[in-house]
């Protein structure tokens, strides 16, 4: 079973993603801040990170850069409500980019694709 970390400052989004992804058979942990995410990444192993870009405090793009420096091999999916970040060069460091939606089909497909690629 793959272990996922969902990082988003919106509690409802974290809960929705965790419920939906656990239904898909994944083990899911969540973080509401960059500091929480960093602590979880330091103390636990994850197979993939789903990361919001616009959060209070540290930006998801900053967190992405930290993850890449620490764990280059870990796939990261940027998941944001703003499609405009796709033009930001720093977002190109992520393995995938998904625009937030209440329909998580695209997110689930990207997770499956990246986990399969990693095997």
Q: Is 66 a member of any domain? A: yes
Packing angle of the helix pair 11-23, 105-118 (nearest 10 deg): 60
Q: Is 49 a member of any domain? A: yes
Q: Is 81 a member of any domain? A: yes
CA dihedral 90, 95, 99, 102 (to 10 degrees): -140
Which CATH number fits the domain that encloses residue 105?
3.40.50.2300
- List C-alpha distances in Å: 54 to 34, 109, 111: 11, 22, 20
- Distance between CA atoms of residues 115 and 113, nearest Å: 6
- Distance between CA atoms of residues 19 and 56, nearest Å: 23
115 or 54, which is more confident: 115
Q: What is the mean pLDDT of the chain?
A: 88
Q: What is the per-residue pLDDT across 76-97, written as a single tens digit (0 to 9) for each?
A: 999 887 655 555 555 557 888 8
Domain count, the chain: 1
Tell me which residue range forms the domain holding 91.
3-110
Q: What local confidence, expressed as pLDDT, does residue 87 receive?
A: 58
Q: Are 40 and 31 in contact (CB under 8 A)?
A: yes
Q: Is 29 a member of any domain? A: yes
The end-to-end CA distance of the chain, in Å, is 13
| CA 42 from centre of chain | 16
pTM over 0.85: yes
The DSSP line for 31-74 is ESSHHHHHHHHHHS--SEEEE-SS-SSS-HHHHHHHHHHH-TTS
Q: Is 117 a member of any domain? A: no
Q: What is the per-residue pLDDT across 13-46, written as a single tens digit (0 to 9) for each?
A: 999 999 999 999 999 999 999 999 999 999 999 9
């Amino acid at each position: 079973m793959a272990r996922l970390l969902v990082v988003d400052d919106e509690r409802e989004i974290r809960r929705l993603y965790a419920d939906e992804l656990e239904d898909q058979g994944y083990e899911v942990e969540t973080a509401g801040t960059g500091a929480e995410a960093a602590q979880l990444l330091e103390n636990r192993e994850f197979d993939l990170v789903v990361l919001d870009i616009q959060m209070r405090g540290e930006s998801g793009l900053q967190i992405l850069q930290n993850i890449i420096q620490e764990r280059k091999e870990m796939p990261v999916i940027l998941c944001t409500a703003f499609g405009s970040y796709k033009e930001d060069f720093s977002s190109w460091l992520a393995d995938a980019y998904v625009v937030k939606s209440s329909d998580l089909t695209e997110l689930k497909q990207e997770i499956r694709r990246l986990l399969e690629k990693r095997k």
